A = this chain, B = another copy of it.
């Protein structure tokens, strides 16, 4: 096992959003000094980081200088300057996840090629440089920008010829439309010593308009076969990547029971928020354990849970106001997480609520109540 983390260890985090915020909440238990780099002085981490540095996470020098000041460097968003991370890695800074992994994940084309090269099941695809390469006989298909997409942005479903005019005119992955029955996710972690542990599989329900997770159900209602197979895939993938940290693996379960990897995220992820309350170890604590190379924590569920994303109501923009928050606090088992963003806008991720209950069906009912009560307005 590597460096002990209990004396003056400095953990650097690129990005100061809600994922960094929840990471800090757990890091406090380990008394780790957390330095955060983010361009916004009012980022969710600004007031709670041990040290908060304002700067561009995509700028080489800014990232390099920040990285030189810490012992271990990690991320909470993957759109960061990887060249700087590579230089830091060469100079002996521990950078987890590894820059090479970030390069692969930043480019959805490279992601797909990686799956193909390593026998990881995924939907069939082709890579294009611009929209002239799209032909009507490939419809319907999903077009994804190779780079820069996040939170449901950079993805479009092209159904008929008329949609082609809306297609992205940039390097893209073009995928077949998967006729899936469910979307599931495996959150899995690996530390520097190679220990691997995954959390119980969860099921995701998306907001069709915003293409964002709306509900998460834990545990997922899947067959034992799917369960085993999905875990095997996630484990194969994290080892093939020689990955260190938390890896979120989003998958489709097709109507014929096939499991296909959709996308991965090299960090704590929306589909692991519920682990804060519902599992012995949270994904945030597990990420810290992974990158500091201490033994991974037990991932067992201690409760069923439903997670509801609090997205800004469509067409409300400005100073945020949470309608009926008190009513939601009165629901037994509702756990509220407000991310500290002052301004809301359509579908912005402003917080989440996890409802814990030993009975998943009861948790689902309560989650519906939360959803119908709590509105993020301006």
Contact = CB atoms under 8 A, between A and B. Distances in A.
Interface in A283-332: 289, 294-295, 297-298, 302-303, 319-322, 325-326, 329-330, 332
B297 A29 contact: no
A335 interface: yes
A268 to B, nearest CB: 15
Interface stretch (A1-9, A120-128, A199-207): A1-9
A291 B339 CA distance: 21
Interface in A323-358: 325-326, 329-330, 332-333, 335-340, 351, 356, 358
Nearest to A325: B6
A86 B299 CA distance: 48
Contacts of A321: 6-7
A29 B303 contact: no
A31 interface: yes
B295 A330 contact: yes
A337 B29 contact: yes
A310 to B, nearest CB: 11
Interface in A1-48: 1, 4, 6-7, 21, 24-25, 28-31, 33, 47-48
Contact of A280 (B298, B337, B356): B356
Nearest to A338: B31
Interface of A: 1, 4, 6-7, 21, 24-25, 28-31, 33, 47-48, 50, 280, 289, 294-295, 297-298, 302-303, 319-322, 325-326, 329-330, 332-333, 335-340, 351, 356, 358
A4 to B, nearest CB: 7
Contacts of A4: 325-326
9 contacts: A7-B320, A29-B335, A30-B336, A31-B351, A48-B48, A48-B50, A298-B333, A302-B302, A302-B358
B31 A339 contact: yes
10 closest A-B pairs by beta carbon, nearest first, are A295-B330, A31-B338, A298-B332, A47-B50, A31-B340, A295-B329, A29-B337, A6-B322, A294-B329, A302-B303
Given A48-B50, A289-B329, A30 B280 contact: no
Nearest to A327: B295
A294 B326 contact: yes
A302 B321 CA distance: 32
A316 B329 CA distance: 45
Contacts of A7: 319-321
Contacts of A319: 7
A48 B351 CA distance: 20
A340 B28 CA distance: 8
Contacts of A325: 4, 6, 294
Contacts of A336: 29-30
A337 B32 CA distance: 11
A280 B333 contact: yes
A303 B303 CA distance: 9
Given A47-B50, A356-B280, A29 B338 contact: yes
Contacts of A339: 31
A298 B366 CA distance: 14
